[in-house]
């Protein structure tokens, strides 16, 4: 718990933002090409976009899930995320989004 709080303070990200940051940092070429600051900014944008798209049972509705996937893909493309692992990053972000949705519902 303390390590998570320290990491949050060190990165300047909230706990839920760290989960998205970790998702986009899985790609070494993204870190090298984009830099840590850009990836932190993207994590914050992803959390904002995901929260605005969450609806009841969103992950069970194909149309809403597809819309969220498109939002994530647009954001990654807009910030020049390296395409070599973009699909993996999208999958990880959607997994994190499901966790955020569960937390929001609780």
Digit-coded pLDDT (tens) for 52-95:
777 666 656 777 778 888 888 888 888 888 888 888 888 888 88
CA distance 16 to 97: 9
- Using a pLDDT cut of 90, give the percent of the chain over it: 1
Cα–Cα dist 90/59, whole Å: 14
Contact 43, 24 (CB under 8 A): yes
Count structural domains, the chain.
1
Give this prediction's pTM.
Answer: 0.75
Q: Which position has the token pair 């992950």?
A: 59
Domain span including residue 89: 2-105
Among positive and negative, which fits the CA dihedral 1, 104, 71, 57?
Answer: positive
pLDDT at 59: 59
89-101 pLDDT, tens digit each: 888 888 888 777 6
């Amino acid at each position: 718990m303390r390590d998570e709080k320290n990491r949050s303070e060190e990165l300047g990200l909230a706990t839920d933002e760290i989960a998205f940051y970790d998702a986009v940092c899985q790609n070494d070429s993204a870190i090298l090409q984009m830099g840590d600051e850009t990836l932190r900014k993207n994590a914050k944008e992803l959390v904002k976009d995901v929260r605005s798209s969450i609806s009841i049972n969103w992950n069970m509705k194909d149309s809403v899930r597809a819309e969220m996937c498109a939002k994530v893909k647009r954001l990654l493309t807009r910030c020049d995320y390296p395409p070599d692992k973009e699909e993996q990053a999208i999958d990880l972000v959607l997994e994190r989004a499901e966790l955020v949705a569960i937390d929001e519902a609780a």
